[in-house]
Amino acid sequence: MGVDKNFYNEASASKLGWDPTWFGEKYFDDKLVRSIKKWQKANGLTSDGLCGPTTFRRLWTERQSEIDDHKPVSCQYANYIVYNNDFFPIEWDKVVLWSEPGALKANPGTHYSYAGRPKRNIRYFVNHWDVCLSSKSCASVLNKRGISSHFVIDNDGTIYQTLDMQHGAWHAGSERANRASVGVEITNAYYPKYQDWYIKNGFGERPLVENAWVHHTKLEPFLGFYPQQIEALKALWKAIHKATGIPYETPLNQFGNTSTQYEQRVPYGKFSGFVSHYHVSKRKIDCAGLDIKTLLEDIEED
């Protein structure tokens, strides 16, 4: 029996906060399904007429780029991150905790709560890109989807911690992975067409990543991370290592370089270290092009 697409879209809209006018329609009907298919096809997505999480995230970013200019947020910065109510120093001057002014906070019901329990056994750290224009936009999408990430790194390198690392954020795709890991979303809209938005809003031109491979597939050129985001990420990894004991390791290929494919031992708990989302799931490509091995070597040399 096939999916009732009209019912699916109405339920999706209720949960995620979109409506038919986003696709130029008025009702949850077959015309909307056709319009969604048309939009999906034009944007390189599977053309199934269903506005699920992937389509919603892409559409959200598209709308934000058209209607939003960047508005600086006044934040109160910290110099530590939090794990089971303990404070661990971080060598970075732009860190905002979920309880402070200008914070981003994971909604209740978007993570496994380990409050009042012994320290969670964290085995690995998962790096994501969010396909959003800003951390604020990313946090909004995550909360609308009912998922979360412990950290978000904004365009200017600000690190937002959205919940205590003691809790299991819903970020890695499976319960097994979520309960064993900590995650970060690194703000990056990914598609080169958004380069103008970044320039217009004063962030400058993003690097363009070419010749990146993942799961034996060469990707089309895409936007990379700003240098300040990479430096923030390294500072975060260093603090995570000290707080949790996660080793400075990453999956390697037969040539000793950062693996560019799914690694079954990661989600099945046979590996401990720093990984990209594609190491955890065959369906993900983030963070292709992120040379974790080299960055970890940089940290150890400091």
Say which CATH class 80-301 falls into: alpha beta
pLDDT attached to residue 26: 86
pLDDT band at 54 (very low <50, low <70, confident <90, very high): confident
* pLDDT tens column, 4-36: 888 889 888 888 888 888 888 888 999 999 999
Q: Which residues contact 31 (CB under 8 A, 6 or more apart)?
A: 25
pLDDT band at 70 (very low <50, low <70, confident <90, very high): low
* pLDDT tens column, 186-228: 999 999 999 999 999 999 999 999 999 999 999 999 999 999 9
pLDDT attached to residue 65: 76
Q: What is the number of residues in the chain?
A: 302
pLDDT attached to residue 1: 55
Q: If you write DSSP's letter for every residue of 70-109 in order, what string do you get? A: --------BSEEEETTEEEE-S-S-EEETTSTT---PPTT
Tokens in use for 107? 């909604």
pLDDT surpassing 80 at residue 172: yes
Instruction: Please report, for the chain, the start and end positions of each structural domain, with discontinuous segments joined by +.
Output: 5-51, 80-301
pLDDT attached to residue 190: 96
Task: Please return the burial class of 279, using the count of CB atoms within 10 Å of its CB with bins 0-12, 13-18 and 19+.
Answer: buried
pLDDT surpassing 60 at residue 300: yes
pLDDT surpassing 80 at residue 75: no
pLDDT surpassing 90 at residue 166: yes
pLDDT surpassing 60 at residue 117: yes
Instruction: Find the mean pLDDT for residues 278-300.
Output: 97
pLDDT attached to residue 128: 98
pLDDT attached to residue 214: 98
